[in-house]
Amino acid sequence: MDLGHVVALIDIEPLACRYAREQMGVMAFEGSAVSTEVLIEAGIRKADAVVAVLHNDALNLAMVALAKYYGVPRILVRMSHRDFEQPYRIAGATSIISTTDLVVSTMSNAIEYPQVESMMHFEQDQIEVLKLPIPQCSQIAGRCLADIAQNSSFPQGALIIGYQAHPHENLIIPNGNTVIEAGSTVLLVTKPGTLHEVIDFMQRE
């Protein structure tokens, strides 16, 4: 993989394994992800992390327990029903991702903040990271970050941490000299209470 990790995928569907090998460049093993034989073949004894995303919570719980048994330090699991949250924690899950929460959060964000391309919540919703397009008529278009940050109307506690000049260009980490062009996209981190203020400032004409 691009980040230097070796990824092993386990799936009972041969076509899924073939796609993973040919299109994603990962090792793929056909079989059940709760089979000790398959897990050992896939290298679970040396794994730094395991991600359990099986069809139901009961199977995911079994996979979490097996990963814990084999000493995997990081175990991430997809949770469909909240009743499994505590069992997952007892079994050894280090990160639990609720599909229901993700769907509700995504829909709420789309309704509340239609201008935002994407948004992520961190630290129990104490921090928000949002990807925000800069309109052609924005007041900040053509200005550098240092000037923008010195504006008295710039929301306190907000920080621009990423800049993408064009959808096909890479996201970069900006500095004070970075000029924010119209039609570009910025990545911001802020407190939830200032979201509307931040969006208004960045997109105001």
pLDDT band for position 1 (cuts 50, 70, 90): very low
> Strand 27-30 to strand 8-11: parallel, antiparallel, or no bridges (unpaired)?
parallel
> What residues pair up with 190 in beta bridges, in sequence order?
128
Which two structure tokens, joined as six digits, stand for 157? Answer: 């506690």
CB 121 within 8 A of CB 93: no
Distances, alpha carbon 107 to alpha carbons 40, 111, 125, in Å = 39, 6, 16
Q: Please tell me the predicted confidence (pLDDT) of residue 34.
A: 95
> Strand 159-164 to strand 185-190: parallel, antiparallel, or no bridges (unpaired)?
antiparallel
Q: Where are the alpha helices (DSSP H) in the chain?
A: 14-19, 36-42, 57-69, 85-91, 99-112, 145-150, 195-203
Distance CA 92, CA 67 (A): 8
* Of 114 and 133, the one with more pLDDT: 133
What's the whole-number mean pLDDT along residues 59-71?
97
- Each residue of 32-55: pLDDT tens digit? 999 999 999 999 999 999 999 998
Distance CA 65, CA 42 (A): 17
pLDDT band for position 121 (cuts 50, 70, 90): low
Q: Worst-scoring range by mean pLDDT, 29-33, 51-55, 123-127, 167-171? A: 123-127
Write down all domains in the chain, each with its CATH number in brackets: 8-101 (3.40.50.720), 109-203 (3.30.70.1450)
Residue 123 predicted with pLDDT over 60: no
CB 150 within 8 A of CB 110: no
Q: What global pTM score does this model have?
A: 0.59
What's the whole-number mean pLDDT along residues 27-32?
95
- Each residue of 70-97: pLDDT tens digit? 999 999 999 999 899 999 999 999 998 8
Select the highest-mean-pLDDT range: 20-24, 153-157, 199-203.
Answer: 20-24
